[in-house]
Amino acid sequence: MAGTTVSRTAHFALHRTQLDTPPAPPTGLGTERTQALFAVREAWIGALVPKRWARRAVTRNTIKRQIYAVSRDFEPRLPLAAHVVRLRAGFDRARFSSATSGALKHAVRGELQDLFARATP
């Protein structure tokens, strides 16, 4: 979350931090060389779905699955960085009565596609 917010929608925010920041100088005994935090050079995706905005575990898991599925579609266009998709507002439970309804999945997927489209060149 220390990175910058690169795009927002009504319910989601996409945060990004660069992976290739210079390592800190070695300090202390036995620290002759430093190791990179992320050895793999690819886009990293994380999902943050707080219980505050999605009370039921099945809803949180459904939203996370949608985040990872949509991010796979946009992964080739994302820069080499660590990305975190954060749910920043809850979906209306009156409108989406079931935690795994098709309507909820469709709404989440559409908004995530918009979120990633705004963040990619």
Q: What is the model's pLDDT at position 28?
A: 58
Q: What is the model's pLDDT at position 93?
A: 85
DSSP secondary-structure letter at 99? T
Beta strands at 44-48 and 4-8: parallel, antiparallel or unpaired: unpaired
**How large is the C-alpha radius of gyration of the chain?**
17
Q: What is the model's pLDDT at position 13?
A: 96
pTM: 0.81
Q: Which residue ranges of the chain lie beneath pLDDT 70? A: 1-2, 20-40
Q: What is the model's pLDDT at position 94?
A: 85
CA distance linking residue 8 with residue 17, whole number of Å: 16
**What's the pLDDT tens digit per position in 96-109?**
888 888 999 999 99
Class of domain 4-19+40-119: alpha beta
